[in-house]
Structure 1
C-alpha cells in the first residue's frame, strides 16, 4: 500500500523504507508468478472471496487449481461501509 499512497493528489513523493520493502516484494511477486490453469467449462468452479477495511480480493478455482486472482484497494468512501457490504462487494 505504501506505493499507492505516493500516487495520490497533493501527496509529497517521499521514498522511505516501507516504500522500498513494498517495491522489493512487488518485484519478487512479478518474477515468481503462480501457474494458472485453463478451466474446463463442463466442470464446476469454486470462488473464494474476502474483504477487509483495506481491500477486496478473490480467487477463482477449478479442480483445486487457481484460474484467476482479483484484488483491489478500497476507495476512500468504501472504508466506511459495514462488513457485510464489503463482503458482497468482494463477490461482485
Structure 2
C-alpha cells in the first residue's frame, strides 16, 4: 500500500480533528475574536503544510515547497471565509 492508495479527504479530516485540540489548547472558555482568529490562522498553516506533503503523493521532492505554499494559502482562504461569517460584522459572535 502507498500514500496514493489512501483516501486523501478522509486522511485530512482525521488529521484535522487530531491537531485541532492541540492548536486550541489553553485558549480558555471565553476567547476573544482575535485569539480565535490567531488560532485559526495557525491551524490553517499547520493543515496547509500537511496537505502540501500529502498532495505530493508517493514521492516527495523539491515540488513539496510549492505544494505547501499553495496549500497553506488555500487553507487560510477557507479559514478566513469561515472567520468572516463567525467574527465579522453581523457574524455569529456579534449576535450572541
Normalised-by-shorter TM-score class: under 0.3
**What is the TM-score normalised by the length of structure 2?**
0.26
* TM-score of the superposed pair, with normalisation by structure 1: 0.27
Please state which structure has a larger fraction of its residues in strand: 1
Q: Determine which structure has greater relative contact order: mean sequence separation of CA pairs < 8 Å that are 6+ residues apart, divided by chain length.
A: 2
Structure richer in helix, relative to its length: 2
